[in-house]
Structure 1
């Protein structure tokens, strides 16, 4: 027994030798917490800054015996540490200082006569003359490691029935050296790449040489997801984008409006005299950081910086963000980023005890070379290049080429997940998560997916209750061909509907895709100004769960299309489609009738139309996942320009009309300083030739209770029609900038949205003459417009908009006010 106890204590001492762990709280002499105080090991550069509650935790691989705690306006304090773990410390600082010659700043610091801000201005002046910006061209090797860990692991968590049969995973438990929480590594991804940049041409290229992950998915899809979650950033920029939110950089030119700055210290670091500046937010709930940085006294280049997001920052599902960057001195004047570490604590709640998941990214750079010019074609982005060898490098290759060896925990992740993949319970949990994420139920044996499951049920006034069953072929995310289809049945009209389509990528480099399909279904047409040739697309408006008013202006559509698509340049696509469709009313309460003779006495209720459609679409900076015939977009924060020309030809396959149609669509999201993001949408269109109601441009209304982009909230379907139109939408998202200044509201983390939208349109006399539908053509010749104001991020998932009509108020039964909502999971 004694031997076992001795062995235990020997093991315990072996684990803590050479380690110092400290945690606790810093308070003033009244017991109130001191936020943003400096806590460092004596005679070292290792330390942290306390959070808003005065709390801190960090650790070192070295053995330190003294902790130094300081904050401007308070006397510095030193406390002795015992070897190993020192948690639960309560450190009281006394107000006042004996250094009378030193100017002290407390609370909100002054913007005038502040030496820290004088230094900050020097950083602004030199920021484009430091680091990689000093050279015409540059290149270097990069290694990136991303790890995800479950955190706050306790005995109750480990004894959960979910982990029955998987208890071996807890052999990997460790403790964070930043938060002091226990964590369980569950995923790791590694990337080796070569980086190239041309500052004159403002071009950057990354060539991935190797990528490896621990089992949750494979190939570039995982890599693209990680790159979106952890986008690259430059601390010298005014704004740093994390999780689709723009944080104000502490080095921003606008930083003095949102941060307090204090010149805290100065010393030699790597033979360079550097100033230490502490910064912290002026207000709560804004997208800001707290931390400090060391800056050189001659080049005013950053030597070291750490950033910790304010716990009150208006961001969802992320409890903490912590960043460290360290720069090496290449020569007397060149400071280059050597190591970049970022840790995020993802959680449903920001409470200290809440469980969640760490996401940690480490980036290392080396082997820099400068002023080696590459030809312009070198920087041309590959449209659809996929090298399978990159994702299947051997273990020997990784052991030889990774910049730093994996630690024991990181090595254990690969082994653990290889074991987990054969555990039935884990496979069931993983499959359930996959279904909820993709909307499809995978059937590997048949290489099929069933779904999308969220479209299985629907309702409208014509079909009544509607059931839909569908599926697609699926061999993997990079399939070169795919067939998908569905069948649906309406219990009111007692009719079956169906759709089937196929796509085949015949040439991978330029994404040359051939497609074909046919759909027979009931559809609410006229819910978008710009046309679409998605043969299986069915608008949200076609199903009227929770809708207002009647939803009986539906059309029976028989649509067949043959298509060709090519992407010769990244994000620039050209499409050509031949289509044939028949349109007729699906309801006795709605008509598409038109006159067929010059005497306007003979009518026809069905439209038959052949059409050639040519489309050019440019989406700069769009990011996608996958290299197969279908791709998934990473986000929607990119510009989109769409131009379409359509030619209807009478007589082809019994087609009824000759016409030409031009359409233009432009959407642009723009970051407006620190005041959020503005979305601008412009749509223009004109039809040349005589066409009936079924081929007219219908100003898209919205009779649902939900927010639908590019529709008009207070219009019913077919309120306005036109053959010539111009539409303009403005919508601005303040992201909580205004609410953060209202004391009683800012804790709710609500986000403000305001918008205005308007449309002008006309209908030609010849199109009015053939109208026999009974619908009175009304065009918004006096400009129809409406405006809305909304509150987002209610309970983190809900947005509510209040909309008012601005014109055409005298129309009988006109909707003058409405409330719309939407749900979504956003950071």
Structure 2
């Protein structure tokens, strides 16, 4: 979970209804057992819902109704007269109708996969799924209206009387009732957007053109808006899996659905002059990533007309109590169905208890003006690197009146008024600022920020206790220039360290950025195979409190860099830079010595090196917010990354010691394997041409801490393997609790199963061995690839992951460890 998600909890947990008819309650049978998936409608209308697996329901409408109709196959239909406009504690008993029991199939519990009419219909849906929707045309375009909302839910007297809301009591005049859950909520944020969508199925591309955007209260916080949008992903119910929150849910109309769901054919009727069947579905097992609900399907095209999907309370998702999806489709040309409405609601909460408080995040998408088979040139779909589209954020009210496909409710309209008033209160701004600090790690002042606060304290064997203070200029997220820096002091070595970096956006259209910086600090080198010239970054291995074995192999580094970066194509960058490094041991027990003469009689303990580099990087699918010198990635970890670096070491410039050439390749690929979970694969390869000392060689990254460090080998010690030519691969997989869900007594813990394997092969030339005078034994995994494997359990208390790592070979290396344990804390879905 990124820190922006933490913003939601810290802000919205930190801080009169206009519907005319509200009903809720429970439906039971003669034996007091709940009737799941019963139909509940306002009599004479199609406004209705289904009871959940516990027989509970909630329904509301802005119109006045006086009669509720409840029906379910095998039971007598029952009408309930509503004595008032609000009836939330109804207890409705249905009577079984014996005469119907002999005429229809009734399935309870686990339904059969054979002789089931619902599954016969499902198979016809599979056969026709590619003939429906926009995929059945070569090209398409349509207009899309999107509404994002966030609400504080379960607003009761305890919330209203909380000291936290002192000075903000007026906001409770804007409470409403959720149409899905029946909970009272307080609308706090709304973002509206209108876009034109274009696509070409022949070349597999899509383009979105934003023509209008407005929101309540957070116009300047585009990071927050982008984070909200990224919480929803495009999904297709006809695919086998529906992905959101980093999880893959089995679609109820997928070809694998019969292994995950029970299906019951319950009703049939005309909808928009089309005869449709109603099928209710629910999970076959607990704790799996599945839904419950129902759908209507047309009997000639076998296309979905309407579908409701709701996650079960026992679904293995952190912080999300329930997700509800509703989609509606209409028929075009009497044969093709296209989507007209998509509603997505997530109920977030720190507790899974039904009455606990939380946050609703809702997205409503409406679609119209479909056009097909209008071919456009490939150049039309090429993404622009610089596209701030400022006019879209400055639309007047008449634009929204014309382009909204659905009018805002009275409460939604009032959100704009409420937020304008709320921003003037000190209490609100205090909560908002605290949440912003937690999300960004910086404390905001006028024109500059202090932080990141998470790096204030550190410890290592050389510096002892370490204090760090840092800051950055900040006038807004789209600043064309920025200066960042820090200072640190070690109480054991009594030395001051610092780092400073400046960057300026020279040309916004090509994203031409000039940057320069300098850092003098103590660092644990060799924690990454890929070269890093990050002036402000510092590995956790450099400041770990608890280590395995001796951890004295730290270096003092004085690094100066200058670079020029350009982005000629979206997500493709070219960077040309130069750097100068002075490296020397930071501990008297650690040596980087190398021979400086052919007779190997004279040594030097410092390295001075000038290097120029050319770096190509490509991140297809990456989404960013903002257009200043720094942009925030809003879908971190959900896209592949390719990195190619060519470095040239130049001797004698600024007293540089060595000539060499270095080529490095890095590739990282996240993989979502349907219902089997999520994997991540990475590959690194590199080769150095020329004679260089230990301080410039490629060290296979070990990890002597108890904390997980990205792409390291946890059972290796620092400097255990050293190479000048290497290939390394890492594979990690999470089953997302799929296996634990089948174990009684364990499934309720919502744990996640984790496995991993990593390997590296490398060589070191004899010339580089002879150059070394450090006293270390320079060895490379050249007999066979060194490998490790790991087993782990994640989601412990929803925040902790523990992995056990095992060495696979090279047990004869002195001081070799055969086993290691690492822990990792984090907020994940």
Q: Give the TM-score band, short-chain normalised.
A: over 0.9
In the alignment, is residue 702 of structure 1 matched against residue 700 of structure 2?
Answer: no
Asked whether the equivalents of residues 248 and 289 of structure 2 are also in contact (C-alpha less than 8 Å), the reply is yes
Asked whether the equivalents of residues 611 and 650 of structure 2 are also in contact (C-alpha less than 8 Å), the reply is yes
Alpha-carbon shift at residue 779 of structure 1 (Å): 1.1
User: Which residue of structure 1 aligns with residue 712 of structure 2?
Assistant: 711
Tell me the distance in 2 between the aligned counterparts of 1:361 and 1:146.
Answer: 5
Asked whether the equivalents of residues 788 and 807 of structure 2 are also in contact (C-alpha less than 8 Å), the reply is yes
Q: Equivalences for 1:631-670 in 2 at 5 Å? A: 631-634=631-634, 635-670=636-671
Tell me the distance in 2 between the aligned counterparts of 1:44 and 1:402.
Answer: 25
Tell me the distance in 1 between the aligned counterparts of 2:236 and 2:225.
Answer: 20
Tell me the distance in 1 between the aligned counterparts of 2:805 and 2:550.
Answer: 20
Q: Deviations over 1:306-325 (max 9, x none)?
A: 11111111111111111211
Tell me the distance in 2 between the aligned counterparts of 1:219 and 1:386.
Answer: 14
Alpha-carbon shift at residue 341 of structure 1 (Å): 1.5
User: Which residue of structure 2 aligns with residue 407 of structure 1?
Assistant: 409
Long gaps (5+) in structure 2? 1-15
User: Which residue of structure 2 aligns with residue 116 of structure 1?
Assistant: 118
Tell me the distance in 2 between the aligned counterparts of 1:698 and 1:72.
Answer: 69
User: Which residue of structure 2 aligns with residue 130 of structure 1?
Assistant: 132
User: Which residue of structure 1 aligns with residue 471 of structure 2?
Assistant: 471
Asked whether the equivalents of residues 219 and 391 of structure 1 are also in contact (C-alpha less than 8 Å), the reply is no
Q: Equivalences for 1:457-468 in 2 at 5 Å? A: 457-468=457-468
Tell me the distance in 1 between the aligned counterparts of 2:211 and 2:293.
Answer: 35
Tell me the distance in 2 between the aligned counterparts of 1:90 and 1:641.
Answer: 59
Asked whether the equivalents of residues 544 and 551 of structure 1 are also in contact (C-alpha less than 8 Å), the reply is no
Alpha-carbon shift at residue 405 of structure 1 (Å): 2.5
In the alignment, is residue 49 of structure 1 matched against residue 50 of structure 2?
Answer: yes
Alpha-carbon shift at residue 219 of structure 1 (Å): 6.1
Tell me the distance in 1 between the aligned counterparts of 2:814 and 2:512.
Answer: 51
Q: Deviations over 1:742-764 (max 9, x none)?
A: 11111111111101111111111
Asked whether the equivalents of residues 313 and 321 of structure 2 are also in contact (C-alpha less than 8 Å), the reply is yes
User: Which residue of structure 2 aligns with residue 787 of structure 1?
Assistant: 789
In the alignment, is residue 546 of structure 1 matched against residue 519 of structure 2?
Answer: no
User: Which residue of structure 2 aligns with residue 36 of structure 1?
Assistant: 37
User: Which residue of structure 1 aligns with residue 691 of structure 2?
Assistant: 690
Long gaps (5+) in structure 1? 1-13
SS at match of 1:278: strand
Alpha-carbon shift at residue 253 of structure 1 (Å): 1.4
Tell me the distance in 1 between the aligned counterparts of 2:401 and 2:42.
Answer: 34
Q: Deviations over 1:63-106 (max 9, x none)?
A: 44444444556565554433422222223345674221212222
Asked whether the equivalents of residues 461 and 550 of structure 1 are also in contact (C-alpha less than 8 Å), the reply is no
SS at match of 1:682: strand
Tell me the distance in 1 between the aligned counterparts of 2:77 and 2:237.
Answer: 30
Asked whether the equivalents of residues 290 and 307 of structure 1 are also in contact (C-alpha less than 8 Å), the reply is yes
Tell me the distance in 1 between the aligned counterparts of 2:38 and 2:413.
Answer: 36
Alpha-carbon shift at residue 703 of structure 1 (Å): 1.4
User: Which residue of structure 1 aligns with residue 157 of structure 2?
Assistant: 155
In the alignment, is residue 231 of structure 1 matched against residue 219 of structure 2?
Answer: no
Tell me the distance in 1 between the aligned counterparts of 2:363 and 2:313.
Answer: 20
Tell me the distance in 1 between the aligned counterparts of 2:38 and 2:824.
Answer: 42
Asked whether the equivalents of residues 75 and 97 of structure 1 are also in contact (C-alpha less than 8 Å), the reply is no
Q: Deviations over 1:735-783 (max 9, x none)?
A: 1111111111111111111011111111110011011001111211232
Q: Deviations over 1:458-497 (max 9, x none)?
A: 1111111111111111111111111111111111111111
CA RMSD between the two structures? 1.8
CA 72–271 in structure 1, closer or farther in 2 if over 3 Å, else same: closer
Alpha-carbon shift at residue 280 of structure 1 (Å): 0.9
CA 262–615 in structure 1, closer or farther in 2 if over 3 Å, else same: same
User: Which residue of structure 2 aligns with residue 568 of structure 1?
Assistant: 568
Tell me the distance in 2 between the aligned counterparts of 1:372 and 1:541.
Answer: 56
User: Which residue of structure 2 aligns with residue 3 of structure 1?
Assistant: none
In the alignment, is residue 559 of structure 1 matched against residue 563 of structure 2?
Answer: no
Tell me the distance in 2 between the aligned counterparts of 1:667 and 1:420.
Answer: 44
Asked whether the equivalents of residues 73 and 106 of structure 1 are also in contact (C-alpha less than 8 Å), the reply is no
Alpha-carbon shift at residue 337 of structure 1 (Å): 1.3
User: Which residue of structure 1 aligns with residue 324 of structure 2?
Assistant: 322
In the alignment, is residue 305 of structure 1 matched against residue 330 of structure 2?
Answer: no
Tell me the distance in 2 between the aligned counterparts of 1:15 and 1:589.
Answer: 72
SS at match of 2:546: coil
- The one of 377, 396, 400 equivalent to 1:375 is 377
Asked whether the equivalents of residues 707 and 824 of structure 2 are also in contact (C-alpha less than 8 Å), the reply is yes
Tell me the distance in 2 between the aligned counterparts of 1:242 and 1:270.
Answer: 31
Asked whether the equivalents of residues 657 and 690 of structure 1 are also in contact (C-alpha less than 8 Å), the reply is yes
Q: Equivalences for 1:425-444 in 2 at 5 Å? A: 425-444=427-446
Asked whether the equivalents of residues 17 and 176 of structure 2 are also in contact (C-alpha less than 8 Å), the reply is no
Asked whether the equivalents of residues 73 and 105 of structure 1 are also in contact (C-alpha less than 8 Å), the reply is no
User: Which residue of structure 1 aligns with residue 195 of structure 2?
Assistant: 193
Tell me the distance in 2 between the aligned counterparts of 1:550 and 1:213.
Answer: 55
User: Which residue of structure 2 aligns with residue 254 of structure 1?
Assistant: 256
Tell me the distance in 2 between the aligned counterparts of 1:101 and 1:354.
Answer: 44
Tell me the distance in 2 between the aligned counterparts of 1:83 and 1:273.
Answer: 35
Q: Aligned pair count?
A: 811
Q: Deviations over 1:499-556 (max 9, x none)?
A: 1111111111221111111111111111001112222111111101233333211111
Alpha-carbon shift at residue 201 of structure 1 (Å): 1.3
Alpha-carbon shift at residue 379 of structure 1 (Å): 0.5
Tell me the distance in 2 between the aligned counterparts of 1:94 and 1:748.
Answer: 38
Tell me the distance in 2 between the aligned counterparts of 1:98 and 1:233.
Answer: 42
In the alignment, is residue 206 of structure 1 matched against residue 198 of structure 2?
Answer: no
Tell me the distance in 1 between the aligned counterparts of 2:83 and 2:294.
Answer: 27
User: Which residue of structure 2 aligns with residue 243 of structure 1?
Assistant: 245
Q: Equivalences for 1:434-583 in 2 at 5 Å? A: 434-444=436-446, 447-583=447-583
Q: Deviations over 1:130-171 (max 9, x none)?
A: 121222111111111111111111111101111111111111
SS at match of 1:774: coil
Alpha-carbon shift at residue 624 of structure 1 (Å): 1.8
Instruction: Between 665-674 and 741-750, report the one with greater CA deviation.
Output: 665-674
Tell me the distance in 2 between the aligned counterparts of 1:237 and 1:335.
Answer: 16
Tell me the distance in 1 between the aligned counterparts of 2:103 and 2:516.
Answer: 81
Asked whether the equivalents of residues 143 and 402 of structure 1 are also in contact (C-alpha less than 8 Å), the reply is yes
Tell me the distance in 2 between the aligned counterparts of 1:658 and 1:134.
Answer: 59
Tell me the distance in 2 between the aligned counterparts of 1:70 and 1:589.
Answer: 81
Alpha-carbon shift at residue 403 of structure 1 (Å): 2.4
Asked whether the equivalents of residues 73 and 267 of structure 2 are also in contact (C-alpha less than 8 Å), the reply is no
Tell me the distance in 2 between the aligned counterparts of 1:764 and 1:74.
Answer: 82
Tell me the distance in 1 between the aligned counterparts of 2:73 and 2:198.
Answer: 43
Asked whether the equivalents of residues 306 and 327 of structure 2 are also in contact (C-alpha less than 8 Å), the reply is yes
User: Which residue of structure 2 aligns with residue 777 of structure 1?
Assistant: 778
Tell me the distance in 2 between the aligned counterparts of 1:97 and 1:198.
Answer: 54
Asked whether the equivalents of residues 505 and 512 of structure 2 are also in contact (C-alpha less than 8 Å), the reply is yes
State the TM-score, normalizing by the size of structure 2: 0.95
Asked whether the equivalents of residues 24 and 90 of structure 2 are also in contact (C-alpha less than 8 Å), the reply is yes
Tell me the distance in 1 between the aligned counterparts of 2:513 and 2:22.
Answer: 58
Tell me the distance in 1 between the aligned counterparts of 2:557 and 2:36.
Answer: 64
Q: Deviations over 1:221-262 (max 9, x none)?
A: 343212211222222222112222211111111111111111
SS at match of 2:392: helix
Q: Greater relative contact order (Cα 8 A, min sep 6): structure 1 or 2? A: 2
Asked whether the equivalents of residues 263 and 281 of structure 2 are also in contact (C-alpha less than 8 Å), the reply is yes
